[in-house]
């Protein structure tokens, strides 16, 4: 397979992906399967099975290289559940060998439910993965397994988290989607978990991206409430943002031990600083989680478009990135794909 040169002098389009609002896009999220071994109640209806096709590992690599040649510096592999994907370790090894336009290594991360991490953490680290984010929606086994609908999953994921930390896939982040009445009783437990397990716990406001119909404004636990509840047990202190496109508001505790992040796309949307673009498992570009249109990059690739034509297509697609989402506004429409099929 021919490599795509990241040399900016070979590009007809300007080297950096920039949308019509001047936002520079440097963060690519790639779904490498939309299969998942969990059926989290807020995400899935309960049916297993892939809905969209998957590309070969070589094809993902080829498409990702096009983006890297346009200024992407960070790639996050996701799904579905990316650890289910055959060829993952080889894909990570190839990606880890890529250089950005600025001749630096890619920042390479992966989001997982952690179920298979116990055995895969060390090989992934050895292949060049920098970090993982593990999704955990509870810190007690019964609540956790009521949400995942997989018996024994809590202990399995805990082993995975510890294996990832031991392998050096750090800083290790734990993402928890909070839903009122489902797991909001876990907030204080997660604050203790962050300190005891030396992980960054990030709470995420629930977005209307589920397969079924669960979302309502009332089910969202907003940032202010999370901060107030943790603060009643352990006072929180604001931490400065590391860069303008950071999605999480960061906090530590008064003794400096532990970190909490809160990602508040509903109550405090951060679209104005968005630096992300997504590639679905079947090779479609999504310029926003809530896009109503998808852009068929893989279709053009299959039809024989040249690298230069594909880069121009990516460039023009990014220019049309949506200004913001419209969650909670009259006329809001859920996208046709749900989170598990887009890639979170
Ligand atoms: N299977 C992997 C995992 O569990 O992390 C990756 C895919 S999963 C779709 C990515 C993240 O999206 C998870 O942290 C999940 O909790 C989150 N998520 C799923 N549905 C969501 C929703 N409607 N709102 C906010 N986050 C959601």
Domain definitions of the chain by residue range: 21-342
Total residues found in the chain within this entry: 344
Work out which ligand 1 atom sits closest to the CA atom of 133: 5
Please give the distance, rounded to the nearest whole angstrom, from the Cα atom of residue 119 to the centre of ligand 1. Answer: 22
Q: What is the three-class DSSP state of 248? A: strand
Question: What stretches in the chain show pLDDT beneath 50?
Answer: 1-14
Q: What is the model's pLDDT at position 50?
A: 66
CB 67 within 8 A of CB 106: no
**What is the reported pLDDT for 11?**
42
Cα distance between residue 309 and residue 6, in whole Å: 15
pTM: 0.94
* 177 CA distance to ligand 1 middle (Å): 8
Residues 85, 55: contact at Cβ < 8 Å?
no
pLDDT the model gives residue 236:
93
Q: How is residue 3 annotated by DSSP?
A: P
| pLDDT attached to residue 88 | 98
Burial code (b: 16+ CB inside 10 Å, e: under 16) for 107-128 equals ebbbbbbbbbbbebbbebbebb
- For residue 81, give the ligand 1 atom closest to its CA: 1
Residue 111 CA to ligand 1 centre (angstroms): 9
Ligand 1 shell residues, CB under 6 Å: 36, 43, 78-79, 81, 111-113, 135, 175, 177, 204, 206-207, 209-210, 339-340, 344
**Spacing, Cα 309 to ligand 1 middle (Å):** 33
Which residue, 38, 19, 35, is CA-closest to 27? 19
Helix axes 141-148, 153-167, angle to 10 degrees: 100
Q: Which fold has domain 21-342?
A: TIM Barrel (3.20.20)
pLDDT of residue 283: 98
């Amino acid at each position: 397979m021919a490599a795509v040169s990241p040399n900016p002098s070979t590009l007809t389009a300007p080297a950096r992906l920039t949308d019509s609002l001047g936002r520079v896009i440097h963060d690519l999220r790639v779904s490498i399967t939309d299969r998942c071994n969990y059926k989290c109640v807020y995400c899935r209806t309960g049916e297993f099975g892939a809905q969209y096709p998957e590309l070969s590992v070589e094809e993902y690599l080829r498409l990702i290289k096009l983006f890297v040649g346009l200024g992407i510096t960070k790639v996050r592999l996701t799904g579905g559940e990316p650890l289910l994907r055959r060829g993952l370790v080889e894909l990570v090894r190839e990606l880890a060998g890529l250089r950005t336009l600025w001749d630096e290594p890619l920042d390479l991360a992966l989001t997982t439910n952690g179920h298979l991490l116990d055995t895969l953490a060390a090989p992934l680290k050895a292949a060049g993965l920098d970090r993982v984010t593990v999704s955990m929606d509870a810190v007690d086994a019964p609540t956790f397994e009521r949400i995942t609908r997989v018996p024994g999953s809590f202990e399995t994921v805990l082993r995975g988290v510890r294996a990832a930390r031991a392998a050096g896939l750090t800083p290790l982040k734990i993402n928890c989607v909070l839903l009122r009445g489902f797991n909001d009783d876990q907030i204080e437990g997660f604050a203790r978990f962050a300190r005891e397990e030396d992980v960054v716990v990030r709470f995420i406001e629930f977005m209307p991206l589920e397969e079924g119909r669960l979302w309502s404004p009332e089910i969202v636990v907003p940032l202010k409430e999370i901060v107030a509840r943790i603060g009643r047990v352990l006072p929180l202190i604001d931490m400065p943002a590391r860069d303008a496109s950071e999605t999480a508001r960061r906090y530590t505790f008064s003794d400096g031990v532990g970190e909490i992040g809160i990602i508040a796309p509903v109550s405090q949307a951060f679209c104005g600083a968005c630096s992300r673009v997504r590639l679905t498992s079947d090779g479609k570009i999504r310029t926003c989680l809530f896009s109503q249109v998808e852009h068929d990059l893989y279709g053009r690739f299959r039809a024989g478009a040249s690298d230069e034509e594909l880069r121009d297509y990516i460039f023009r697609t990014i220019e049309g990135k949506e200004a913001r989402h419209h969650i909670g506004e009259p006329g809001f429409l859920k996208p046709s794909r749900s989170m598990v099929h887009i890639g979170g």
